[in-house]
Structure formats: C-alpha cells, structure tokens
A and B are shown apart, each in its own frame.
Chain A
Amino acid sequence: MFSPSPFRFVLIFGGCMLFAFGALLTPAVQSLDARFSSVLVQLSHGLILACGGHATRDAAILRAPGGFGVEMRDGCNAVNVTILLWSAVLAFPAPWKMKALGLAAGSVIIQALNVVRFISLFYVGQYSIPWFEFAHAYLWESLLVLDTMVVFWVWAQRAARPAATAHAGV
C-alpha cells in the first residue's frame, strides 16, 4: 500500500511554492526570467514563420503586420504554473530520479503548451482585443493550470508504482 501523507504534501508544496515565488521576484531571477521570455518569443516567432505566418520580433514583443503587438511579460511565460508543478513534484514522496524526470518532462510539456497559447493569443489579439483579454487573463491561464494538474496526476501515477511495488514486495 502506497500512502503519502496529505498533510506532509501540503506543507512541502506550500513551502516550495512560497520560496520559488519569492526567489522569482528578486532582481537577479527577474533578469533571467526576462531573457527566458525573450527566448520563448523567438521560438514562437520561428514557428509562425515556419508555418507561413507573418510577424516581426523585438526582444519579448511579437508584432503583426497590422500593428498589433503582444509582449511576453512575467507570468505570461508559464513560469508560475511551472513553479506549481515543481512544488507538487518535490512534495510528492518519490525517488529522486523519478522527481527529476517529472520536473524535466513536466516543464517541457507546460512550456510547449505555453508556446501554443502565446501564438494563439497573437492571432486572437489581431481579431479582437476584448477576446484577447478574456483568453489571455482567464481562459488560457486556467487551462494551463488544468494541464499542469493533469501532468502531475500522470506523473504521480507512474511515480507511485515503484514505491507500491516495493511495499507490496515486503
């Protein structure tokens, strides 16, 4: 029987989350965060061009030929949901190798989804600003947290297996 304590999970999850968000808002990490956003915009720009779309890039800003521009700021780069995933993975009782796999694979999945989100917002914004605000601030953010929960769920199911085997084998 594999049975992580929910209390321990909540305690470690909350601690990791507070520490990570505190660190994220320090000047040194903010500078890295801005560079990371710039890389994601570069990747999105490359994908749009590769698919035959039209856009220009200026650091973390993506511009449409019609003049509409969208900037990837702090929070739009999915670092906040990645922190939530990392906190949950670190709080879950699993072997460190499994945790490392969860952190790496989970981050890649979330960032890939975020690039899709950013490109979709770039096109939604050209069509309608009110729809852009709705999709940007509420819909896509909530969908990303839902995806993050499912990524964690899939990982936790896999991570729970070896531990359960070990316990059952005793």
Chain B
Amino acid sequence: MQAFEPQTRFLVRGSALLIALLTLWWFVLLGPMLYLLKGAAGVLLPIEDHPSGDWTLRVPVDVTLHRTPRQPLPQQLRSIEFDMPRSDAVTFTFSIPVYWAIMLAAPGVRRKRSPLLLGTAAMAAIELVLFLGFAHITAADAAAQLAGTEYAADKWIYRVGVYLVVSVLPYAAPFVVALWLDRELREEVLSLGRRVEVPVQGGNRR
C-alpha cells in the first residue's frame, strides 16, 4: 500500500476539503458568487432577477419565423426570453471551491499561491463561458423549435451541448485546470518523466 501513498493522501485530503469547502460555498459563498455571475454575464445579455431568486434571461437571436396558417406574415425574432430557476444558476458557481479543494489537497501546497490565484480566475472565466453557452444553446434550441427548422440531428446536437455544459464540464473543469496549472500534480498523475531503476543482470549494485 506504500506505493499508493500519494494517491491515498490526496484522496483523503481532497475528500475532506471538498466536504468543508462545498459546505462553506453552500452556506456563505453561494449568494455572492451568484451576484458576481449575474453581474459579469449581465454585461453580455440582459438578466432580470426575481424575489424568488430565479432569473429571466433575454438572449439575442436572429431567426425568421415563416408564414403559417395561424401567422399569415413572416416574423423576425430578435431575442428569446426564458426563466432560469436559481437551482440551475447555482450549477455555474460551485466549480471554484472544487478547484480550491484539489489544489489544497495536492502535494506542496505552500508553493502554490500563484496557480491557486490564476486557477481561480480561470475557473471564474470558465463558469461564465459555460453559463453563456447554456443560455445561447437553450435560446437557439427554442428559436429553432419556433421556426420549425429543428430536425432530429439538431435536437441531438443541442442536447449534447446542454449535457456537456451542465452535467460534465462544471464537474470536470476544476480537475483539468488543476492538472494544467499544477506541474507537480500533473507529473504525478500522468506519470510524466517517471524514472524506474531496473536491475541489470550481472551488473554491480552500488
């Protein structure tokens, strides 16, 4: 078991830190992080918040709705407005404490002030991009449905996009960013440059 000592230490420390930092995020940091996310995303698309904590997003689109029996004249769609429950917006804030937990659990934590700060900024940028990506994919999907131009392949592409943005990347990104910025952790996990001593037959041991 001694061979797996770094992994065991990382797992134990990482699990404890995840529990501690996600609890801190849930009770203390979540509100300010949602406020910052709304502020940053609000620069690029109008967001209205409600007393319930839910948001209404207005995403610009450029789609022509063709003539139908109920709508005799074609119409130009300039934006799509939809509600986003607070519980959905929360998904775009939790990756930062997860990143902190990984970095603090990794070996040599004292030497990691700059990767910690740089990674926090990178995670904030990634969360913003994921949030905007989710808004645009959802709006494009709704616009295609309204225009009647959505085929099975489009539906699948939108579904894969939303799945990646909501259910995969927010969870995977902190680990990828940690491996990207923390050279020591990357070399350990990917076994980069690992040197193994091999006994040579007939050779002298020193």
**Chain A residues close to B by CB (< 8 Å):** 1-4, 6, 9, 17, 21-22, 25-26, 75, 80-81, 84, 92, 133-134, 137-139, 141-143, 145-147, 149-150, 152-154, 156-157, 159-161, 164-165, 168-169
Contact = CB atoms under 8 A, between A and B. Distances in A.
A139 B22 contact: yes
Contacts of B156: 22, 25-26
B190 A139 contact: no
Q: Is the interface of B mostly helix, strand, loop or mixed?
A: helix
Contacts of B168: 17, 21, 80, 84
Is the contact region of chain A dominated by helix, strand, or loop, or is it mixed? helix
B51 interface: no
Interface in B84-116: 87, 90-91, 94, 98, 101-102
Contacts of A153: 7, 10, 188-189
Contacts of B67: none
A156 B102 CA distance: 19
Contact of A154 (B4, B101, B160): B4
Interface residues of B, number: 40
13 contacts: A2-B196, A6-B190, A80-B168, A137-B91, A139-B18, A139-B19, A142-B18, A146-B11, A146-B14, A150-B10, A150-B14, A154-B7, A164-B196
B18 A146 contact: yes
Given A6-B192, A25-B159, A137-B91, 6 more contacts: A84-B168, A134-B26, A153-B189, A157-B7, A160-B194, A161-B196
